[in-house]
Structure 1
Amino acid sequence: MGELAFLTAERVGLIVLLAFILVNIRPFRKLLLESTPADRFKLTLIFSAFAIISNMLGIQIDPNNHIMRETILWHVIPGYSVVNVRILAVTVAGIVGGPSVGGITGLVAGAHRTMMEGWASDAWFYIISSTLIGVLSGMLYRKDRRHFVVMPPWQGFLISLIMESIQMVFVFLFSPTHLKLVSFIALPMIVISSVGTAFFLMILSLYFRQEVDTRAVQTRSVMKLAVRTLPAFRHGLQPESAKQVARLILAYTDFDAVGIGNGEKTLAFAGAGSDHHRQDMPKDNVPNFVKRALREKQTQLVYNADQIGCQNLRCPLQAGMAIPMMLGGRVLGVLTLYFTENWKLTPVEIQTGEGLGEILATQIVLGEKERQAGLLRDAELKSLQAQISPHFFFNSINTIIAISRFDSEKARFLLRELSTFFRSNLLGANQSKIPLRQEEAHVKAYLNLEQTRFPDKYDVEFFSSVDDQVLVPPFAIQVLVENAIHHAFGNRKTGNIINIWITRSGRYLEIRVTDNGEGIDPNVIDKLGKEKINSKHGSGTALQNLNARLKGLYGDSAKVQIVTGKTGTSISLLIPYAQTEQKPNLKGVATDESTDC
């Protein structure tokens, strides 16, 4: 029995050594942390291979319990028995992969063992026993891999004792030489295989503990990084902020290169390969796996230079991941993280990268919110400067005083309009969306004051075919009307027509302001609403701010369309109609449309 114990321990040691090698292979480590059907299938293949190897390393014993010394066992001589560590592989398969992995591995192991002895033999019971042991072991499987937990080795030792004992029961009941065989092989097989199971789980535990330590270090770094990157995105995802964040990620993590893009182009790139992976890289040159991440809204992993797809043959990057920065289903940009050695792309690094993507997405949204508030304040200030300027205010008051001498009712009406105009500015400055009727009242109040000052200069008409409760950005119509009044007609005194159309166009709410003015300079039309321009007719900042507010509120689905020519200009705002619905007011909460002064 001593010789048998030594040979069995030798086989167990070989299996444990293979396990140690396997744990150091990146794809296998990834399988330990995942639980998709494809991953369970791969685990089943791996453990089935372990079980078959265990069968082939078996020790053949003749009917008189004499040990046969074959190196590899291909077939079992009729009447002979075999001692192997097949159950070790089946038990660990169940513990690590669950009932399905353990059961199928047991089925394969038992079928192979039966095949070695011959299908016509009485060895069929190995199929039943191995499958049962795999399923029973799988019932102890822990599904939660987020905390890197695997069964403690001492528990694995006890479970393996039970499973090997079940196998001995089957051998005792169905083997032709049951009693003599079991008394010879039971003790070394049960004890040594159980020790092997404990060592197997110990190797996995050491790996998981290493992952925990690595993750703890990464978590501390990410927390520090989050504090440092928050101010950078105060004004949203911009090239300068992206460059700053890329450098910070490189300094606080183990990634060898970092890229940040907005879906249209690369805004920043730092680290290895930055000599040719430059910022401002157009969309056509963005790697395919990055485009795929944006399109599928899922993290994409690449494990070699070919998958990265860099055209530079000297590119040092060998592995990486593209993480779409998303919040609420909206893609804000993409974070790409690279390594110069593919073995560094571990599950911990993947989780760290995805965590960074979530943090940065949140910071970008917070920055956009702050930027939107700033834009709204800026719009309010510009409105106050342009329309409630001392000239506008005093001119309006003087006009009202003059009219009061001969038409007191008209003067009273104009005072109410001036009050409405002031109130609308105050309410609009504190909200991101207001009811359409509130915006209309604001614009009409402004127009009534302007048209009183300049009788017959402007002919303005409203055309609306939608519910006046739909929500629109404050000052949206007012900015377009003001733009037409101040810039469309030059010095023309009469015949100046402005039409305001508010309609539903497919899935959009369309706000369109048209005029019959002089048109817009073709040299600036493509820049209008996108950047500040140099023009004798204005800088275009009002339209630029309006466009930025629309993008912040509705994303890329909102549009500003400008059509111009010698016969006039038409500017349209297209807002997703689904996002214009009035939300029900909470019981007991006053609405913004209170008439209290």
Structure 2
Amino acid sequence: MIEVTVILFERIGILLLVAFMLTQIPGFRSLLDRDMAWDTILYHALVFGVMGILGAHTGVIMDRGTLMVESWLLNVGDNQVLIGFGIVVVMIAGLLGGPYVGLGSGLIVGVYMAFIGGGAWFANSLMNPLAGLITGWTGQFFSDERVIAPNKALFIGMFPPVLYMGLILIFIPDQQTGVEIVNQIGIPLVITNAIALAIITMMIRSALNESEREAALETNRALSIAEKALPILKDASLDKNAKAMAELLYDELDVAAIAIADKRKVLSFVGEGEDHHQVGESIKMRLSQIALDTGELQVAYDKSELQCLHESCPLQTAIMVPVYRSREVIGLINIYFRHSQQIRAVEVELARGLGTIISNQISGFEAERMKELLKEAEIRNLQAQINPHFLFNTFNLIHSLMRVDHEQARRMLVRFSQYMRANLNIASKSLIPLKDEIEHVNAYLDIVTARFPDQLEVRKEIDQNVLDVLIPSATLQPLVENSIQHGLKEVQAKGIVEIKVGRTGHAISIEVRDNGVGFPEELLPVIGQQPFTDRHGNGTALYNVNERLKGIFDEGSEMKCRNLDGGGSSVSITIPIQCENMEYERS
């Protein structure tokens, strides 16, 4: 019996290799997490079934009480009984995947055992699906662990071989042969199957725990680096703090060197090779340029891919990690190694995780800086008597876009800054080119139409020949804002604003129309001549524009306000041309 047990242990050794292979199967973790749909159940049943077929061919043959050991079993005679080890694989399938995976893999092995034949083919065919069901059900009953404990697997692994021996006694044609098989191989089979099941579960648990422990350590290291990088990235941009960031990464990571670059040149380099890898040199590596262009992490496994011309350079391989700011690639972190064997999957994933964390930190601080700029802009605009409602609505718009559309948020921020700059220049310059005033209007309209894309239509008729004529700042924009804020306030249909700019003799004519409610008839004679209270709403802006025109041109300018016959209102001003095609210095 001892000799048979030793032989069975030798034959079952290949299943230990199968156990290691199991940990490499794609989707293996979903099996351990019990997070499976029917397609994954079928997939794992097929994988374990194929491995069970291989296990069947590593078994032994009983021929009239004689144990036959061959290197690879292919043919089974009618009077011979195949004692295969596919049942061990099927039990593993049941323990890890539950009764459905165990049953599926058992059916595959069972059908194959029927195809092979032999004196106990029916017992072999019936035992494999039963083993999958039994171990699947008992495994779920005894344990909620991802991988069952080896001692529990040892206990569960005893039952299927005992049942198998019983089926051989029942279904084998020659009862005397069945008794001899059970007496000779029964106990050794129970021992080897149970111990093999325990060893395999122990191997899977050990491999899984090791990988999870390594992943936890790398995650902890990435978070530690991210925490230390916070003060570096918070105070200034990556460009200004590239050296400090490179030194931090070099101290924390067991690597040969760290380089940080923007989209054009190397910003910092720390580590081996500092004598010839110079700060300020342009990006030469093809993979670095690919990483910048595609935004995808790149790995150079060969020294030739580094494209370093220095013959004694100790750097052999590298990982190029793109760094983002609001979804836009702004630079690279290059992590260099001395040997290609040092770049494992865990190093690649750590580099990828660091790139993501650092990019998120940069984007977060950029968002905070945007908010600070917006707050500062709010103060300045309030000082310039900007409509506070427009200010807050713009802040809310940019804040909302930052969540869903970073590109549009940046665009709105740029347009808002242009709008703000024009407002801040109101007091500093009395005259500006007409094209600057139109740009001021366009910036305002871009913001407003972004808030109401389907509720506002703007029509423009602008004579391109008068764009260089100088006019008072904040002349056209307040008329457009007044038309939108007050003229279209009560309009239920689509609001329309028409802007017409042209030349009439030696003057510039500007008219803004809308299809809104129009001016109160009783106020028409005095609109633009005196400011109104908030109750009337649409007189202060027009009054300020008219007063500025009078202050610059005395009586040479004119403002007219009227209601249109078809509904809506019109405000037109005439500005005398004093300076045309003058060179103008922008602030």
The TM-score normalised by the length of structure 2 is 0.55
Distance 1:290 1:332, change over 3 A: closer
Query: 1:42-441, aligned counterparts within 5 Å?
Result: 47-48=48-49, 50-63=51-64, 65-96=65-96, 102-117=102-117, 123-124=121-122, 126-134=124-132, 137=135, 149-177=146-174, 179-180=178-179, 181-234=181-234, 238-242=238-242, 244-254=244-254, 281=283, 286=288, 294=296, 340-342=339-341, 345-346=344-345, 349=347, 352-353=350-351, 355-376=353-374, 379=377, 383=380, 421=383, 424=386, 433=395
Equivalent in the alignment of 1:480: 422
Q: 1:516 aligns with which of 458, 461, 467?
A: 467
**In structure 2, what is the Cα distance between the partners aligned to 1:130 and 1:332?**
59
**In structure 2, what is the Cα distance between the partners aligned to 1:33 and 1:256?**
33
Equivalent in the alignment of 2:585: none
Letter in 2 for 1:369: A
Equivalent in the alignment of 1:402: none
Query: 1:4-23, aligned counterparts within 5 Å?
Result: 4-16=4-16, 18-19=17-18, 22=21
Q: 2:437 aligns with which of 498, 504, 508?
A: 498
Distance 1:272 1:204, change over 3 A: farther
SS at match of 2:158: helix
Q: Deviations over 1:164-201 (max 9, x none)?
A: 34444543443334651334433221221111111112
**In structure 1, what is the Cα distance between the partners aligned to 2:272 and 2:43?**
34
**In structure 2, what is the Cα distance between the partners aligned to 1:317 and 1:139?**
53
Letter in 2 for 1:158: F
More displaced stretch, 193-202 vs 166-175: 166-175
**In structure 2, what is the Cα distance between the partners aligned to 1:5 and 1:349?**
44
Shift of 1:516: 2.4
Distance 1:130 1:354, change over 3 A: farther
**In structure 1, what is the Cα distance between the partners aligned to 2:396 and 2:290?**
42
Letter in 1 for 2:422: L
Shift of 1:96: 4.0
Q: Deviations over 1:242-288 (max 9, x none)?
A: 55434423432346666777889987776689978998648975465
Q: Deviations over 1:45-67 (max 9, x none)?
A: 7655643443222121112x221
**In structure 1, what is the Cα distance between the partners aligned to 2:392 and 2:61?**
85
Shift of 1:478: 3.3
- CA contact 1:62–1:79 (8 Å) conserved in 2: yes
- CA contact 2:300–2:306 (8 Å) conserved in 1: no
Distance 1:310 1:481, change over 3 A: same
Rg: which structure is higher?
2
**In structure 2, what is the Cα distance between the partners aligned to 1:253 and 1:311?**
23
Q: Deviations over 1:12-54 (max 9, x none)?
A: 33432x257658xxx8287544569999898767655643443
Letter in 1 for 2:467: N
Letter in 2 for 1:152: A
SS at match of 1:70: coil
**In structure 2, what is the Cα distance between the partners aligned to 1:98 and 1:303?**
42
Distance 1:302 1:489, change over 3 A: same
Shift of 1:8: 0.9
- CA contact 1:488–1:518 (8 Å) conserved in 2: no
Distance 1:475 1:21, change over 3 A: closer
Distance 1:301 1:203, change over 3 A: farther
- CA contact 1:257–1:273 (8 Å) conserved in 2: yes
**In structure 2, what is the Cα distance between the partners aligned to 1:315 and 1:334?**
21
- CA contact 1:58–1:73 (8 Å) conserved in 2: yes
Letter in 1 for 2:468: G
Distance 1:356 1:433, change over 3 A: same
Can you give the 5+ residue segments of structure 2 that lack an aligned partner in the other structure? 399-411, 471-533, 535-587
Letter in 1 for 2:358: L
Distance 1:288 1:74, change over 3 A: farther
- CA contact 2:260–2:267 (8 Å) conserved in 1: yes
**In structure 2, what is the Cα distance between the partners aligned to 1:336 and 1:134?**
50
Distance 1:48 1:229, change over 3 A: same
SS at match of 1:239: coil
Distance 1:170 1:33, change over 3 A: same
Distance 1:379 1:235, change over 3 A: farther
SS at match of 2:437: strand
More displaced stretch, 70-79 vs 88-97: 88-97
Q: Deviations over 1:470-498 (max 9, x none)?
A: 999866523235569968967x9xx8983
Distance 1:435 1:207, change over 3 A: closer
More displaced stretch, 99-108 vs 283-292: 283-292
Can you give the 5+ residue segments of structure 1 that lack an aligned partner in the other structure? 295-299, 385-419, 437-469, 520-592
Distance 1:261 1:11, change over 3 A: farther
Letter in 1 for 2:56: N
**In structure 2, what is the Cα distance between the partners aligned to 1:182 and 1:66?**
12
Distance 1:197 1:134, change over 3 A: same
Letter in 2 for 1:199: I
Distance 1:319 1:286, change over 3 A: closer
Shift of 1:92: 2.1
SS at match of 2:195: helix
Q: Deviations over 1:372-419 (max 9, x none)?
A: 2343355467x48xxxxxxxxxxxxxxxxxxxxxxxxxxxxxxxxxxx
- CA contact 1:257–1:269 (8 Å) conserved in 2: yes
Shift of 1:222: 3.0
Q: How many residues align?
A: 429
Equivalent in the alignment of 1:458: none
Q: Deviations over 1:113-168 (max 9, x none)?
A: 334337xx7625534432443455456889xxxx9953221122223223434444
SS at match of 1:375: helix
**In structure 2, what is the Cα distance between the partners aligned to 1:324 and 1:285?**
15
**In structure 1, what is the Cα distance between the partners aligned to 2:7 and 2:278?**
57
- CA contact 1:287–1:309 (8 Å) conserved in 2: no
Letter in 2 for 1:28: Q
Shift of 1:91: 2.0
**In structure 2, what is the Cα distance between the partners aligned to 1:42 and 1:272?**
48
SS at match of 1:230: helix
Distance 1:96 1:266, change over 3 A: farther
Letter in 2 for 1:70: E
Shift of 1:7: 0.9
SS at match of 1:60: strand
Letter in 2 for 1:365: S
Letter in 2 for 1:126: N
Letter in 1 for 2:357: I
Distance 1:497 1:486, change over 3 A: same
Q: CA RMSD in A?
A: 5.5
Distance 1:335 1:184, change over 3 A: farther
Shift of 1:228: 0.9
